[in-house]
Structure 1
Amino acid sequence: MLDMRRMQILRAVVTSGSVTAAAANLGYTPSAISQQVAALEREAAVPLLERAGRGVRPTEAGRLLSGYAAALGRTVAEAETALADLREGRTGRVAVRYFGTAGAPLMAPALARLRASHPGVRFDLRLIDPDDPLPEVRHGRADVAVVVRPPDGEPAGLTLLPLLDDPYRVALPAGHPLAGRSVLSLGDLADEPWVGSERASDPCLALVLDACAAAGFSPGFVVESGDYATALGFVAAGLGVALIPRLGLRGVPPGVVVREVRGPEPVRSICAAVRESMRVPPAVRALLDALAEAAGDLEPSAG
């Protein structure tokens, strides 16, 4: 096998035209240079240099290996530059999973920031509704997942970084008797027909049911929609009331009024999930910072 360091020494001899000049340029003795070239000739099993007056010139094999040494030098330099860019977060690939209502208010502005500050980073961005993205992160198929904090606490092997508290609001038909109030008690909705906006497997459903239980009742669902836009459509049609998180209230249709709810106020906590054991790469850290900034921009409009 050819020694790459010796190939670079051969290239120095070929470009400088003599062993003595190459030794001076590299900081070696001429004897050491000659020994390295001789060792490379044994590896190549062919002469690489020949005498030319007071200097040397490459044989055909010497020119061949010198050319490859130059190409290898460029490749190593490119590799070092690429590695430095990756290490500093200027390049890389970040796999992200997110749920639907986090897309427009959180993911979009975060990625817009990163496009300007980290143009060399590529993002593999996938919507995960209705699947649970946490196994994707735990097993290394994703770097970050934007999720609602599970009701049973921090999942094993993962770290949840808080981004935003997203309070629920009650959506009422515009002509509803309670629509004249600015703030409702959750108990005021005990006898109302309810439009379900969460899937049965969604942790947010447990949050809504627990809040209603704390207010002393179980909601009577007359319609199950599984998404916020559809639920708002059913509310607009007068079929019932619905609890919907603030981030899900984009594009409220005519015929629906939205009011705050207290006693208690259900709140879902939106977090970024990363592997507990992961040394966070700079590109991932940049994304987490951008998500935190986007979440901070949403906070003043809460309520």
Structure 2
Amino acid sequence: MLDVRRMQVLRAVVTSGSITGAAANLGYTPSAVSQQVAALEKQAGIPLLERVGRGVRPTEAGQLLSRHAAVISGQVAEAETALADLRARVTGLLTIRYFATAGATLVAPALARLRQEHPALRLDLGMTDPRDPLTEVAEGRADLAVVVRPRGRTREGVRLVHLLDDPYRAVLPAGHPLAAKRVLDLTDLADEPWVRGDGPGPCLDPVIEGCAAAGFSPDFVVESEDHTTAQGFVAAGLGIGLVPALGLTNRHPDVVVREVRGPEPVRVIQAAVREASSGRPALRSLLTALRDVAAR
């Protein structure tokens, strides 16, 4: 069987017209080039070069092998290019989990961009478990989850990537006396009946903690599980509420929204990434898209 590397040495000799020239181009010694050609001639069973003055020229067999060496070199280059394209291509399946308000405002536009840039990518989308949003990522059943920063230590094998800080706003019925103020102190709401827009968990925690820092505990008279419904109860005059800014993209026409301070509750939205998947081009592209959307 002919040695492909020796064929490439022969091609270098034919191209340069001399053993010395081929050695200089390849970074070999002239004797090493001569040994490689001699070994190839032994494999081929026929002379491949003949001396002409101070140089050499290929025999008919030498020309034949040199042409095939050029073809092989081109095919290797094509294979390397194709392999590099494959490594860089964003393909396969991404399993993504998210919570409701992040789905509409962050995940959907990020995925629209991702699909446009990488149409071969397949997506598995679903809601996070509000009680334990990191489990699927930690156990390898999801590659990424958009979450509100959980309390305490993160799970092993999970890395949290900051996306944005989402401040809470006071939502009041139209005509409420406090609507005359441009910015409310949190203590202004201490004696009001409250409408809750989140269940217990990391989205409600900033509200509870903010009120505690202001010296009171909110009196929840209505409980709901989404911000749209909560705004409906507020508009009906049943109470006031705190809703994160992302939850106000579909604002009810009969409510007034005001900033709050002293303190301003904020929920921190992050991407929980499975560390074992963090090197995937698809996941890196998704994180870039999420960060770009969050920045806007």
TM (normalized to structure 2)? Answer: 0.70
- What residue in structure 1 maps to residue 120 of structure 2? 120
Give, in whole Å, the separation in 2 of the partners of 1:87 and 1:264. 48
Runs of at least 5 residues in structure 2 that lack an aligned partner in the other structure: 2-39, 46-77
Q: Is 1:164–1:295's contact at 8 Å kept on the other side of the alignment?
A: yes
User: Match of 1:208?
Assistant: 207
Q: Give the Cα–Cα distance (whole angstroms) in 2 for the partners of residues 282 and 186 of structure 1.
A: 44
C-alpha distance 170-127 of structure 1, shift in aligned 2 (>3 A): same
Query: Could you tell me how far 1:164 is from its partner in structure 2?
Result: 0.7
Match of 1:105 in 2: 105
Change (3 A) 1:283 1:27: farther
CA separation of 1:122 and 1:27: change in aligned 2, threshold 3 A = farther
* Cα distance, 1:167–1:120 mapped onto 2, change above 3 Å: same
1:179-223 Cα distance to aligned partner (Å, 9 max, x none)? 1111000011000000011112x2121221111000000001101
Partner of 1:229: 228
Specify the alignment match of 1:14 in structure 2: none
List per-residue Cα deviations over 1:215-266 (Å, max 9, x = no partner). 0000011011121111100000000000010000122112200000000000
- Asked if structure 2 preserves the Cα contact closer than 8 Å seen for 1:87 and 1:281, the reply is no
Alpha-carbon distance in structure 1 between the residues aligned to 2:278 and 2:292: 22
SS at match of 1:204: coil
Residues of 1 paired with 2:86 and 2:101: CA distance? 31
Question: Alpha-carbon deviations, 1:117-167, whole Å to 9, x = none?
Answer: 111111111122545331100111110100000132433331100001100
Contact 2:96 2:143 in 1 (8 A): yes
The structure-2 alpha-carbon separation of the partners of 1:30 and 1:107, relative to structure 1 and needing over 3 Å to count, comes to: same
Aligned 1:143-292 pairs, distance under 5 A: 143-200=143-200, 202-292=201-291
Aligned residue for 2:204, secondary structure, equals: helix
Q: Give the paired residue count.
A: 225
CA 29–103 in structure 1, closer or farther in 2 if over 3 Å, else same:
same
Q: In structure 2, the residue corresponding to 1:154 is in which secondary structure?
A: coil
Which residue of structure 2 lines up, in the alignment, with residue 59 of structure 1?
none
- Distance across 1 between alignment mates of 2:226 and 2:179: 23
Q: What CA distance in whole angstroms lies between the structure 2 residues aligned with 1:277 and 1:221? A: 42
The Cα RMSD (Å) is 2.4
C-alpha distance in 2 between matches for 1:88 and 1:183: 49
Number of the residue aligned with 1:29: 43
Mark the CA change 1:284 to 1:183 in structure 2 (over 3 Å): closer, same or farther.
Answer: same
Q: Secondary structure at the residue paired with 2:203?
A: helix
Counterparts of 1:143 and 1:30, CA distance in 2: 54
Aligned residues with identical type, % of pairs: 60
CA contact (8 A) 1:91 1:283 kept: yes
In structure 1, C-alpha distance between the alignment counterparts of 2:215 and 2:167, rounded to whole Å: 20
Aligned to 2:142: 142
Letter matched to residue 273 of structure 2: V
* CA pair 234-28 structure 1, distance change in 2 beyond 3 A: farther
Deviates more, 1:263-272 or 1:102-111: 102-111
Whole-Å Cα distance in 1 between the matches of residues 153 and 168 of structure 2? 20
1:240-299, Cα deviation, whole Å (9 max, x unpaired): 0000100001221122000000000000111001123444201110000000000011xx
Q: Which runs of 5+ in 1 are unaligned?
A: 6-25, 32-76, 298-303
Taking a change above 3 Å as real, the CA distance of residues 174 and 153 of structure 1, as seen in their structure-2 partners, is: farther
Local SS of the residue matching 1:175: coil
Structure 2 letter corresponding to 1:220: D
